[in-house]
Amino acid sequence: MIQKILIIIVSVSIFGLLLFAYVRNQIKKRINFYLQEKTKKKR
């Protein structure tokens, strides 16, 4: 029983870390895009 619970906890935490990394990269890309657009408008 404990083994099943540990497997579930580990798999959920790995999935959470992968999702967090993906979302962080997407947000970083959006921020860089908007910053580039802003600097283009200033010129």
**Whole-number Å distance between alpha carbons of 19 and 6:** 20
Q: Is the pLDDT of residue 43 over 80?
A: no
Split at pLDDT 50, 70, 90, the class of 17 is very high
DSSP 8-state code for residue 43: -
Q: Is the pLDDT of residue 38 over 90?
A: no
For the chain, the residue count is 43
With a threshold of 0.75, does the pTM exceed it?
no
